[in-house]
Structure 1
């Protein structure tokens, strides 16, 4: 199914009227973006999914998908801010944050993780949850070999010794197409490198295509891009890819 701007408008309307499943769907889509497509942005992550995911969790406190998405995105925020602090300890105040930002997110994410476990997730989610536990510092299981199926869009460029990057991880073809279009629209064609879209099935790469030659009007000419279908066990929404340092959704930054 193709995702369009009208899809998001319709879901937002339903979510605003109290439909928790619509709020979850909005949050799941927006976690794939650097910023809300309806608002101006500069390519820096703003985590627009957070209020929608919080609404979904508030409505259904034991919904594993909603809990996993919110927890996974908080874990990504923690990684982002820790990387920022490593580069410049004063960076927090530029974004209206303070030195307690990372600690507060850690505390909340750990509590949410405990709720996921208590809610009874499927065995299929086990490897991703173990990886999430390691990221949050609440588990020390050895990193499992990745056996999930997923897509990764990677866009990067170097400025001197600094690497700027944008990555989108998703496990649905329609969602990764939509997310790529939103990124290339926001970034006006990417950040200057050679963006690629790679598909993995059961942890093994099954196809990769350069998107640069197919960019048109800020998005991608998908009629010219053969996106492989995913077989095998798909990466659960919200969970990181075991052993690869990849968070579900959008991740951007510099190092």
Structure 2
């Protein structure tokens, strides 16, 4: 099993010297956390990956992987702030953000999407980029684009009544999704509520595990949790997915929804 914390430490050291590949990979891993493990906050999404992905794109403007990651994570921010604005505009204003924040992010994601297409993305990214374009209203949205990728999904659902929140982690590496779960449970002191783990193959949910049945205090006993190997086309890092439980939108990485 890969030690993700040690990997992040190595990548951070290299990224701080200006190494673009390290910055891109560090950003990808940090997209699976709500806060940087080196600077833990209060559990609210802080998008710690953005700094490093911007550095990677600045160093290599035609790096399709970095462009895709940055576009996807900024698009995830759009979804986050739209939800925040709809449910708590006063709280968003207190954070120094408003509708113009969303508009600026949308404009930047559209620009990044155009740059990705101009740079020539790999074929497997096609459906996900089409889905991203659809979400950005750059194409006809009457028929939803299906992006039949394979991935793991971890969900923590909490709240009650009309206030239900779901924190979703999307990844394609078993060690990384386990690490993301452990990081979140440590940061949140046990999570928000009901914790589940799903496997998707070609866009369809093939297994679902109630992780509350595998808890050891505030952590998960992963040795008792089946984690099937993914087959099919893996979700390219940064792109959105569509599936039985994700008919609206979920992006590679972590996202909070609800209200």
TM-score by length of 2: 0.92
Alpha-carbon distance change, 170 to 46 in structure 1, aligned in 2, over 3 angstroms: same
* Deviation at residue 217 of structure 1 after TM alignment: 6.1
Aligned ranges 1:133-152 → 2 under 5 Å: 133-140=133-140, 142-152=143-153
Is 1:127 paired with 2:124? no
Report the equivalent of 1:191.
192
Whole-angstrom distance in 1 between the partners of 2:8 and 2:215: 22
Runs of 4+ in 1 over 6 A off after TM superposition: none
Aligned ranges 1:83-232 → 2 under 5 Å: 83-140=83-140, 142-192=143-193, 194-216=194-216, 218-232=218-232
The worse-fitting range, judged by mean Cα deviation, of 45-54 and 220-229 is 220-229
* Deviation at residue 90 of structure 1 after TM alignment: 2.2
Kept in 1, the 8 Å contact 2:89–2:98? The answer is no
Q: Deviations over 1:173-220 (max 9, x none)?
A: 12111111111111111102x211100111222222121233346432
Whole-angstrom distance in 1 between the partners of 2:52 and 2:217: 29
For the residue of structure 2 that corresponds to 1:147, the secondary structure is coil
* Deviation at residue 121 of structure 1 after TM alignment: 0.7
Alpha-carbon distance change, 118 to 236 in structure 1, aligned in 2, over 3 angstroms: same
Kept in 1, the 8 Å contact 2:195–2:211? The answer is yes
TM-score by length of 1: 0.94
Report the equivalent of 1:56.
56
Kept in 1, the 8 Å contact 2:14–2:22? The answer is yes
For the residue of structure 2 that corresponds to 1:178, the secondary structure is helix
Structure 2 unaligned residues grouped into runs of 5+: none
Kept in 2, the 8 Å contact 1:143–1:242? The answer is no
Is 1:249 paired with 2:253? yes
Whole-angstrom distance in 2 between the partners of 1:219 and 1:60: 39
Kept in 1, the 8 Å contact 2:67–2:112? The answer is yes
Length, aligned pairs only: 254
Structure 1 unaligned residues grouped into runs of 5+: none
Whole-angstrom distance in 2 between the partners of 1:68 and 1:132: 10
Kept in 1, the 8 Å contact 2:131–2:146? The answer is no
Alpha-carbon distance change, 125 to 42 in structure 1, aligned in 2, over 3 angstroms: same
